[in-house]
């Protein structure tokens, strides 16, 4: 890449790195893995920077790369989550913490227990604000798949949280 392209990429990276990292965290539930996923996405973008003509599509490209990397990582044998009867250490008490923070933590904990593809759909739809077609494009699947994965993901999240989750979209 020439100096101008490097400068453009650096500016884009500086503007979007926090948002991409947050999305990656919502997908995987671990800040260290989120850093890895964001890095994978930005390295892929850097490699293709000169070939991308539509600069307005950069966010969509990075988002799609993060989602796919997250799903790919979850399929690797050493990344599979193992469920145990008892937590290795007690969960921190939420007493005295603002209700909104406690609710957010419960939601994030519940989201980590939803299967990766359904989690990806929920994050894209409700945290990234994409509509059905935008999520389908990001995931490389049909709109019907997004709708069914959304329904299944919300049902799984409701089951994990043990209460009705009111999400409109």
Domain boundaries, the chain: 1-78, 97-169
* pLDDT score of 165 more than 50: no
| CATH class of the domain defined by 97-169 | mainly alpha
Across 66-76, average pLDDT? 84
Q: What pLDDT does residue 6 have?
A: 92
- The span from the CA of 159 to the CA of 168, in Å, is 18
Residues 6+ away with beta carbon under 8 Å from 9: 1, 45, 46, 49
pLDDT tens-digit map of 113-155: 899 999 999 999 988 889 999 999 988 999 999 999 999 999 9
Q: Please report the pLDDT score of residue 169 as a whole number.
A: 45
The pTM (predicted TM-score) of the whole model is 0.57
**Separation between Cα atoms, residue 60 and residue 135, nearest integer Å:** 10
- Rounded Cα distance between 148 and 145, Å, is 5
Task: Give domain 1-78's CATH architecture.
Answer: Orthogonal Bundle (1.10)
């Amino acid at each position: 890449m020439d100096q101008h392209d490097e400068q453009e990429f650096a500016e884009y990276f500086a503007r979007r790195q926090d948002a991409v990292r947050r999305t990656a965290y919502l997908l995987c539930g671990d800040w260290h893995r989120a850093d890895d996923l964001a890095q994978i996405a930005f390295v892929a973008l850097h490699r293709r920077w000169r070939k991308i003509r539509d600069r307005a599509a950069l966010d969509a490209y990075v988002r799609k790369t993060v989602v796919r990397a997250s799903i790919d990582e979850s399929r690797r044998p050493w990344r599979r989550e193992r469920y145990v009867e008892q937590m290795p250490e007690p969960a921190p008490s939420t007493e005295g913490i603002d209700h909104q923070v406690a609710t957010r933590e419960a939601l994030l904990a519940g989201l980590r227990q939803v299967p990766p593809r359904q989690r990806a759909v929920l994050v894209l739809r409700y945290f990234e604000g994409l509509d059905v077609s935008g999520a389908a494009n990001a995931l490389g699947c049909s709109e019907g798949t997004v709708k069914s994965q959304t329904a299944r993901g919300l049902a799984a999240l409701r089951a994990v949280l043990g209460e009705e989750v009111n999400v409109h979209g």
